[in-house]
């Protein structure tokens, strides 16, 4: 355990220098996300609608070159329904792996899979969507404050349990602000995200208000 | 008669060219031969030509041959009744070799007496320089030896061609001999430009006040300084205006700052209807949308016309300072390269000027 920790520490110490040598930069962030899940099931014998809320914790990393960007994101937590409904809560895991091209200094085009899995009493329900995205950034105060807007649509997808083809779309909007002085590498991010995934008779809409601490200049 | 005239004309035209093509020692031999057959005018011309060869076109005379040439030139000028020219040649001889003794079997008593007179009236300071020398200014030294049997008090300095002092080398008495050492730098520590310079030796004020021919004299060793070409880096051009950001706000930049905030704030309100129509969107999004819109408005006011934009001022200042730092650094490296470049010093024939020199 100590050995693994030492290896991780060494990697963290040397990674920025190594990446800079290759003309690469990275950002890493940790976030907490208050999520609201609205779940429709019209395929069941008795159509149902449930609303869940809960906190997810996660992290995101971006590897940025002059032209290309790669993003990995992971979060997990538990969402629960109101206690008076008697509906059982769900464990929730989300993740995405995206590759992007920086078409303009302010515009990046992305593609890649995004996945969400719920663990319920009836078993796991997994959504996998292959998405295409566009994200734009606008500067409010140079080097200090900026906004971003990301829109995505599913190119294809499926849901397991029940096995169905799936589609969806979503958006992410937010504000990023440098924390500390001009040389600080830390940024804060306040974001609002809404995703809607649907399959035959099923619809899951997830809203999230996210607070993140970001290391590195977000682009 | 006509044929003779043509031959003479050709002779006049091509004689100097032929003489220039000859080596200094050839000219010396011919000059000595001319003296022996009493062709004094031709002999004087040949010897002066031999002494004038400085190594740029042909090999110059060795120091011992220079002394011989000057001795024969003295004898020829005595024979031509050119006493001043004879004295001048004899003084040059004494400067180069103070211990030179003319052969009594070769030269007439008048010639030997004139050399003695030159010895008596000259300051009897000699200067001896090495051949062409290459030094690293500031690291190596170029050494010239002053010699004298009469212990005069002198001042020696490197001067420019127009007489401005470059570096003082020595002030004091020459007891037998003194080595003048020049490190190739001027008084402020910089390497001088290529060109013609001299090492000038003059008597100190005390010696000068003694009066007479010995009291006022100047011994001059011409130096030609050359520098091999040095590869220096050109200085970077100043950053163009297009790279500088406006340091005062204007309406355009204010609207540019406001627009992203308003667009993102409005998007938070509108997107739920587009992405998930029919769903009841949470009101928590209004906090996010409101925050972004307020940040946009704050950005607008931070850019309003006439107001200083500290980020842009800092950016421009950094841009200017980086450029200046680069210029300073490259100039320093170039100066280092120039300083470390070798200096080629080519000494010429020394000359002595005295108070009675015509």
If pLDDT is split at 50, 70 and 90, which confidence band does A155 have?
A: very high
CA atoms within 13 A on the CB side of B159: 18
What residue in B sits closest to A141 (Cα-Cα)?
A: B299
B284, exposed or middle or buried, with CB in 10 Å at 0-12, 13-18, 19+?
Answer: middle
pLDDT at B352: 75
Separation of alpha carbons B153 and B173, rounded Å: 4
pLDDT in tens, A63-103: 999 889 999 999 999 999 877 777 788 899 999 999 999 99
Which range (A37-46, A83-92, B56-65, B70-79) has the least confidence? B56-65
- pLDDT surpassing 90 at residue B95: no
Spell out which residues of chain B touch residue A170, defining contact as CB-CB under 8 Å: 275
Q: What is the DSSP letter of A189?
A: E
If pLDDT is split at 50, 70 and 90, which confidence band does A28 have?
A: very high
Give the residue with greater pLDDT, B45 vs B189. B45
First and final C-alpha spacing in chain B: 43
If pLDDT is split at 50, 70 and 90, which confidence band does B213 have?
A: very low
**All domains in chain A, ordered by first residue:** 2-215 (2.40.128.100)
Separation of alpha carbons A144 and A176, rounded Å: 8
Interchain pair B288, A209: CB under 8 A: yes
User: Measuring CA to CA, how many Å separate B268 from each of A110, A147, A193, B262?
Assistant: 21, 12, 9, 10
First and final C-alpha spacing in chain A: 34
Identity of the residue in A147, A169, A196 whose CB atom sits nearest the CB atom of B264: A147
Give the residue with greater pLDDT, B54 vs B294. B294
Nearest CA among B220, B160, B161 for reference residue B186: B160
Nearest CA among B205, B111, B191 for reference residue B158: B191
CB-based contact A176:A187 (threshold 8 Å): yes
Separation of alpha carbons B240 and B251, rounded Å: 24
Q: Which helix (H) or strand (E) holds A7?
A: helix A2-21
Distance of CA B26 to the CA centre of its chain: 34
pLDDT in tens, A90-144: 899 999 999 999 999 899 999 999 999 988 777 788 999 999 999 999 988 888 8
Interchain pair A36, B279: CB under 8 A: no
pLDDT in tens, B271-288: 988 888 888 888 888 999
Q: Do you know the residue count of chain A?
A: 219
Instruction: Compute the nearest-CA separation of B271 from chain A (Å).
Output: 7
pLDDT at A20: 61
Highest mean pLDDT among A106-110, B9-13, B245-249: A106-110
Interchain pair A209, B285: CB under 8 A: yes
pLDDT at B55: 62
Spell out which residues of chain A touch residue B252, defining contact as CB-CB under 8 Å: none
Spell out which residues of chain B touch residue A52, defining contact as CB-CB under 8 Å: none
- pTM for the model: 0.52
Query: Average of pLDDT values for B97-124?
Result: 83
CA-CA-CA-CA torsion sign (B165, B168, B172, B173): negative
Task: Tally DSSP H helices, then E strands, for chain B.
Answer: 11, 10
Q: What average pLDDT is seen over chain A?
A: 88
- pLDDT surpassing 90 at residue A194: yes
Question: Residue B300's CB: how many other CB atoms inside 10 A?
Answer: 21
Nearest CA among A152, A157, A79 for reference residue A115: A157
Separation of alpha carbons B4 and B27, rounded Å: 26
B228, exposed or middle or buried, with CB in 10 Å at 0-12, 13-18, 19+?
Answer: exposed
Query: Average of pLDDT values for A173-180?
Result: 93
pLDDT at B358: 41
Separation of alpha carbons A173 and A169, rounded Å: 14
Q: Alpha helix locations (H) across B227-340?
A: 251-275, 284-302, 310-340
pLDDT at A95: 96
pLDDT in tens, B251-278: 887 888 888 899 999 999 889 888 888 8
If pLDDT is split at 50, 70 and 90, which confidence band does B357 have?
A: very low
Which value does ipTM take for this structure?
0.85
């Amino acid at each position: 355990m100590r050995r693994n920790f030492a290896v991780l520490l060494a990697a963290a110490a040397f990674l920025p220098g190594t990446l800079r040598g290759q003309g690469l930069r990275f950002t890493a962030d940790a976030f907490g996300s208050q999520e609201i899940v609205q779940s429709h099931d019209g395929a069941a014998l008795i159509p149902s609608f449930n609303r869940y809320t809960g906190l997810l914790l996660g992290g995101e990393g971006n590897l940025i070159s002059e032209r290309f960007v790669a993003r990995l994101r992971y979060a997990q937590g538990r969402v629960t329904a109101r206690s008076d409904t008697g509906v059982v809560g769900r464990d929730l895991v989300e993740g995405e792996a995206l590759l992007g091209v920086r078409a303009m200094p302010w515009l990046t085009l992305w593609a890649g899979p995004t996945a969400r899995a719920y663990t319920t009493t009836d078993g796991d329900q997994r959504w996998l969507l292959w998405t295409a995205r566009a994200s734009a950034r606008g500067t409010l105060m140079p080097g200090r404050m900026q906004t971003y807007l990301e829109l995505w649509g599913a190119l294809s997808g499926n849901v397991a349990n029940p096995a169905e083809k799936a589609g969806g779309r979503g958006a992410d909007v937010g504000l990023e602000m440098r924390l500390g002085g001009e040389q600080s590498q830390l940024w804060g991010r306040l974001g609002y995200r809404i995703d809607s995934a649907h399959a035959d008779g099923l619809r899951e809409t997830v809203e999230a208000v996210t607070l993140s601490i970001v290391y590195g200049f977000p682009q | 008669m006509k044929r003779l005239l043509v031959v003479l004309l050709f002779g006049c035209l091509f004689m100097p060219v032929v003489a220039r093509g000859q080596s200094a020692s050839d000219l010396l031999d011919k000059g000595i031969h001319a003296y022996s057959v009493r062709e004094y005018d031709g002999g004087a011309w040949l010897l002066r030509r031999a002494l004038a060869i400085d190594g740029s076109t042909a090999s110059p005379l060795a120091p011992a041959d220079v002394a011989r040439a000057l001795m024969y030139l003295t004898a020829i000028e005595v024979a031509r009744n050119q006493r001043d020219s004879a004295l001048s040649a004899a003084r040059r001889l004494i400067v180069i070799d103070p211990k030179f003794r003319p052969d009594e079997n070769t030269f007439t008593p008048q010639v030997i007496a004139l050399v003695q007179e030159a010895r008596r009236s000259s300051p009897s300071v000699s200067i001896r320089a090495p051949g062409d020398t290459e030094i690293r200014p500031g690291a190596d030294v170029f050494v010239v030896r002053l010699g004298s049997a009469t212990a005069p008090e002198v001042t020696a300095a490197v001067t420019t061609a127009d007489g401005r002092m470059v570096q003082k080398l020595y002030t004091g008495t020459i007891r037998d001999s003194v080595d003048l050492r020049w490190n190739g730098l001027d008084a402020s520590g910089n390497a001088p430009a290529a060109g013609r310079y001299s090492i000038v030796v003059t008597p100190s004020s005390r010696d000068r006040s003694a009066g007479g021919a010995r009291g006022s004299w100047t011994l001059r060793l011409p130096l030609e300084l050359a520098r091999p070409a040095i590869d220096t880096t050109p200085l970077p051009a100043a950053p163009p205006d297009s790279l500088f950001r406006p340091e005062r706000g204007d309406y355009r930049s204010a609207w540019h700052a406001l627009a992203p905030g308003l667009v993102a704030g409005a998007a938070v309100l509108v997107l739920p209807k587009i992405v998930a129509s029919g769903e009841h969107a949470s009101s928590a999004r209004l906090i996010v949308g409101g925050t972004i819109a307020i940040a946009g408005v704050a950005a607008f006011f931070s850019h309003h016309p006439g107001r200083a934009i500290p980020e842009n001022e800092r950016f421009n200042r950094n841009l200017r300072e980086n450029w200046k730092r680069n210029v300073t650094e490259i100039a320093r490296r170039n100066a280092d390269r120039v300083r470390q470049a070798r200096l080629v010093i080519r000494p010429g024939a020394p000359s002595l000027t005295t108070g009675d020199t015509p």
